[in-house]
Structure 1
């Protein structure tokens, strides 16, 4: 499931949220240490009254010499009334986009004040150009921008949206800003249009404005915390039904929610998976010719089933080509590497 949202600043003064089609609105609140959007609260109260999903963002001016602490404090000072009601977001577009430590420190300060993990907004180019590993691994959500062109897109028609963004450091992105030329009935100007990968409950969980869960029941799941698993899909929340393509091939289970649709949390917020997403336990060892390996299932590389006796012992690896592994010792048969324990 996806939801639609716009983002607004002082340029959109006068826009009536009740007259445009949108599930949510993200509002510019502040910039640097000297600017507050004079229309922020008007938009916020409007959105709150209409039941819109809400976010507030701060435009970083890190290249001006400001410290992340000062800019975070400035944002918190002017948005403290929105805590528990909106997702806090760092807009990362200033000249020095490579200062990852600055961004991380801002996110950490705001997280402490808001009691939830902020998002960070950036372009696909910025995400691909710098090492965001520690920000992604810390669980800060990514709102990524990528436009195909600047041709007008009318009323959320995404037929010309172009290819989805490609990311290097996040397992998935929370939202995609796919156009800066969105025109909606009810407003004459252009708007930025984004889609959120989740439902309303998923958005609210980013705000962390929910009751504390009951103590978990005894774990009866197939995998356990600490398992490093191979995955072929990922979800934005533990209850989401929309399977996304992961940017990682494997990850560590760090928490388990036994009664959920997607019970396994991967990393520190990378995403959630279920048994159907897991293709097996990841081995840190590199399989080499001459090593011993045992088939997990009696299924050949091409899908043909064998007698179960082949899973009872280990065989010497005599050939490896990509994911195709040939086992010898009289078997002389090819298996998929993910179907082998070694």
Structure 2
């Protein structure tokens, strides 16, 4: 089981490092509600969590009462959520003022948002029983059920995520946090659905990228699972997240990986640097490489700099 929280505008600006350091591996961020509300923190929440190597989902709080309203809200959600590249997308089905079987409306919404990512429906046991039929089990369930040791799950029989509390708190985070567990099987499904953005063909480079993924997990608990040596968005997000961390004096296996690449390129001489330490010799070698590639010679591990390492 993986721990995670869902957040919204009610939490204001969220420091994602606090969320991650509390042992959470994923967040679900509110994006839209109805057909007009957009959460102003949404894109920032997704970007900042993914930069730390966390999975990030996007949810829409429904207000629709029928199929046509569901399609309209789905299109609104898609237009506002897809640019942030969420790992999964959610229909939050708990609106008031509905009656009768709402399965067709929910399916219309979920079918539409499947173009963005893996869809789920968020619901509580009473709403499942009162408003849905077994056709809804086409999609995984995020069940909301508090104060129990095991969630009650009508129709579905199993769940992908369980929201077990709506009153979590963390020092430094405004308001309450909803607390969740994601099953290992659903996590593995999400990972298997992710496709590389670059397929690496050079055997040596593939091995180097595999080593980098291993080191990111070892040093920074990045939770990357890609072992095929290809370049995934999650890898780039993790590298972006540590760019400001690797400064003079920083020590890690990732720094050793950088040093080995710089030696390979001829910018750094063996025995001229301290293994694993971003020392003066390593800093100077990075700036020399940056100058040669006509990018900012700051010595900072910018994404332009990482792209040189990943593609050469």
Same fold by TM-score greater than 0.5: yes
**How far, CA to CA, are the matches of 1:42 and 1:71 in structure 2?**
22
Is the contact made by 1:53 and 1:203 (CA closer than 8 Å) also made in structure 2?
no
* Mapped contact 2:33–2:62 kept (Cα < 8 A): yes
Bigger shift: residues 92-101 or 30-39? 92-101
- After TM superposition, list the pairs within 5 Å mapping 1:247-258 onto structure 2: none
In structure 2, what is the equivalent of residue 102 of structure 1? 105
Question: Which structure has the greater CA radius of gyration?
Answer: 1
| 1:23 Cα offset (Å) | 1.1
Report the alpha carbon displacement of residue 201 of structure 1 after superposing the two structures with TM.
Answer: 4.8
Provide the rounded CA distance (Å) in 2 between the counterparts of 1:205 and 1:129.
33
In structure 2, which of residues 129, 145, 150 is the aligned counterpart of residue 164 of structure 1? Answer: 150
Q: Using structure 1 for the length normalisation, give the TM-score.
A: 0.52
1:69 to 51, 68, 71: 71
Which consecutive residues of structure 1, in runs of 5 or more, have no partner in the other structure? Answer: 149-161, 212-342
SS of residue matched to 2:65: helix
- Aligned with residue 189 of structure 1, among 160, 163, 175: 175
Where in structure 2 are the equivalents of 1:270-309 lying within 5 Å? none
- Residues 135 and 39 of structure 1, relative CA distance in 2, 3 Å threshold: same
The offset of 1:130, in angstroms, is 3.4
Contact (CA 8 Å) 1:53, 1:200: kept in 2 or not?
no
Q: Deviations over 1:285-315 (max 9, x none)?
A: xxxxxxxxxxxxxxxxxxxxxxxxxxxxxxx
Change (3 A) 1:19 1:199: farther
CA change 1:188–1:30 in 2 (3 A) is: closer
- Where does residue 60 of structure 1 map in the other structure? 62
Deviations 1:189-231 (A, max 9, x none): 321101011168525248x2136xxxxxxxxxxxxxxxxxxxx
- Residues 11, 176 of structure 2: 8 Å contact kept: no
> What whole-Å deviation, never above 9, does each CA across 1:247-298 have from its counterpart, x for those lacking one?
xxxxxxxxxxxxxxxxxxxxxxxxxxxxxxxxxxxxxxxxxxxxxxxxxxxx
Q: CA deviation at 1:53?
A: 1.0
Q: What is the CA–CA distance in structure 2 between the aligned matches of 1:14 and 1:36, rounded to whole Å?
A: 15
Question: CA contact under 8 A between 2:11 and 2:173: conserved in structure 1?
Answer: no
Bigger relative CO (Cα 8 Å, ≥ 6 apart): 2
Give the TM-score normalised by structure 2. Answer: 0.57
From the superposition, tell whether residues 117 and 15 of structure 1 become closer, same or farther in structure 2 (CA, over 3 Å).
closer
| Structure ranking higher in helix proportion | 2
Shift of 1:91: 0.4
Alignment of 1:17-166 (within 5 A): 17-20=16-19, 21=22, 22-63=24-65, 67-83=69-85, 85-95=86-96, 96=98, 98-111=101-114, 113-114=115-116, 116-136=117-137, 138=138, 140-148=139-147, 162-166=148-152
- Structure 2 residue 145 is matched with structure 1 residue 174: no
Query: RMSD of aligned C-alpha atoms?
Result: 2.2
Q: Secondary structure at the match of 2:154?
A: coil
Q: Matched residue of 1:63: which SS? A: coil
Is the Cα contact below 8 Å between 2:92 and 2:123 reproduced in 1? yes
Q: CA deviation at 1:66?
A: 5.9
Aligned length: 191
What is the alpha-carbon distance in structure 2 between the residues aligned to residue 172 and residue 6 of structure 1? 20
The range that moved more, 74-83 or 39-48, is: 74-83
d(CA) in 2 for partners of 1:121, 1:200: 14
For 2:172 and 2:25, the matched residues in 1 are separated by 15
